[in-house]
Chain A
Amino acid sequence: DQQVKQNSPSLSVQEGRISILNCDYTNSMFDYFLWYKKYPAEGPTFLISISSIKDKNEDGRFTVFLNKSAKHLSLHIVPSQPGDSAVYFCAASDTGRRALTFGSGTRLQVQP
Chain B
Amino acid sequence: GAGVSQSPRYKVAKRGQDVALRCDPISGHVSLFWYQQALGQGPEFLTYFQNEAQLDKSGLPSDRFFAERPEGSVSTLKIQRTQQEDSAVYLCASSLADWGTEQFVLTFGAGSRLTVL
Contacts and interface: CB of A to CB of B under 8 A. Distances in A.
Interface stretch (B12-20, B39-47, B67-75, B79-87): B39-47
A34 B91 CA distance: 17
Nearest to A102: B42
Categorize the interface residue count of chain B.
Answer: 20 to 34
Given A41-B110, A43-B111, A99 B56 contact: yes
Given A6-B42, A99-B59, 9 more contacts: A43-B93, A43-B111, A44-B43, A49-B102, A49-B105, A89-B42, A99-B45, A101-B45, A102-B42
A1 interface: no
Contacts of A89: 42-43
A102 B91 CA distance: 13
24 contacts: A6-B42, A36-B108, A41-B110, A42-B110, A43-B4, A44-B43, A44-B108, A46-B105, A46-B106, A46-B107, A49-B105, A91-B42, A95-B100, A98-B31, A98-B48, A99-B33, A99-B58, A100-B33, A100-B43, A101-B45, A102-B35, A102-B44, A104-B41, A105-B42
Interface in A60-93: 89, 91
Contacts of B40: 104
Interface-centre pick from A51, A89, A95, A98 (highest chain B CB count, 10 A): A98
Categorize the interface residue count of chain A.
Answer: 20 to 34
A42 B55 CA distance: 27
Contacts of B45: 99-101
A32 B102 CA distance: 8
Interface-centre pick from A32, A44, A104 (highest chain B CB count, 10 A): A44
B48 A102 contact: no
